[in-house]
Amino acid sequence: MSSEPSSGKGAGPAWRWGIVGVIAVVALAVALWPRGSDGEGNPGRQWPTGADSGVSSALRAEAGLAACPRPAAGAAGNGPLAGITLECLADGRPMDLAAATAGKPALLNLWAYWCAPCAQELPYLQQYAQRAANAITVLTVHSDPDEAKALSRLSGLTVKLPGVLDGDSRVRAAVGAPAVLPISVLVRSDGSVAEVVVRAFNGVEDIANTVAGELGVAA
């Protein structure tokens, strides 16, 4: 009985498997390599805009939401919300939450498209915002990653308040709120949190009284 030489056919498969292993290692390294930075405190995340976000411009137009507030010149974000950048539902652009709301009291309403009490409360917030005018920033914070359903829900409720997408609930974590919805975070003009309201408001007067008591804003 004879055996094949160690060189020749036996060496070919071993050499090819070695090449395959090198390619697999390189592919894994590329998959795990950081994809850059958004430039706003969230390394590795690239902010989608317009069609790149997966939400059609037609859906945004149908929702017709008000533009998100933008930071005033030289505004700096302070308090527990500092460093949080979220996507504006109106146009898909990133928004520095603390900087954009600096200098004026704010009511941040945490909600989700599947939350029934949120759907009852949101129209009250719309009415309150119109009544309070420029005395306070009222901003919705969709605490679920499904942006398309958020826009569709707001469109159905005819709520046009400016809103942001917070798919991983960073706002809730930052203020130490429980994992329930809806929640309203009342923020002072200096960025500090005056109160976290863990319940749904039952009307415009309820909102006005609560905000007046905690933030001193009469409306």
- How many Cβ atoms sit within 10 Å of the Cβ of residue 63? 22
Q: Flag whether 176 is in a domain.
A: yes
24-38, 110-124, 129-143: least confidently modelled range: 24-38
71-80, 120-129, 158-167, 205-214: least confidently modelled range: 71-80
Mean of pLDDT values over 17-35? 38
**Number of structural domains the chain divides into:** 1
Domain extent, residue 107, equals: 50-215
In which band, very low, low, confident or very high, does the pLDDT at 1 lie, cut at 50, 70 and 90? very low
pLDDT for res 89: 98
Q: Flag whether 131 is in a domain.
A: yes
Q: Flag whether 62 is in a domain.
A: yes
Q: Where are the beta strands (DSSP E) in the chain?
A: 85-88, 94-96, 106-111, 137-142, 163-165, 183-187, 193-197
In which band, very low, low, confident or very high, does the pLDDT at 142 lie, cut at 50, 70 and 90? very high
Cβ atoms 81, 164 nearer than 8 A: no
pLDDT for res 53: 56
Q: How far apart are CA 171 and CA 138, in angstroms?
A: 15
Q: How far apart are CA 7 and CA 17, in angstroms?
A: 16
Q: Flag whether 134 is in a domain.
A: yes
Q: Flag whether 34 is in a domain.
A: no
Q: Flag whether 3 is in a domain.
A: no
Dihedral sign, Cα of residue 91, residue 93, residue 98, residue 100: negative
Whether the per-residue pLDDT at 114 is higher than 50: the answer is yes
pLDDT tens for 53-72 read: 579 999 999 999 999 999 88
Q: Flag whether 172 is in a domain.
A: yes
Q: Flag whether 110 is in a domain.
A: yes
pLDDT for res 29: 35
pLDDT for res 168: 96
Whether the per-residue pLDDT at 50 is higher than 90: the answer is no
Q: What is the DSSP string of 122-144?
A: HHHHHHHHHHHGGGSEEEEEE-S
pLDDT tens for 181-217 read: 999 999 999 999 999 999 999 999 999 999 999 999 9
Dihedral sign, Cα of residue 145, residue 148, residue 151, residue 152: negative
CA–CA distances in Å: residue 85 to residues 9, 77, 97, 202: 59, 11, 6, 30
Q: How far apart are CA 199 and CA 158, in angstroms?
A: 22
- How distant is the alpha carbon of residue 118 from its chain centre? 17
Whether the per-residue pLDDT at 38 is higher than 70: the answer is no
pLDDT for res 76: 79
Q: What is the CATH number of the domain that holds 57?
A: 3.40.30.10
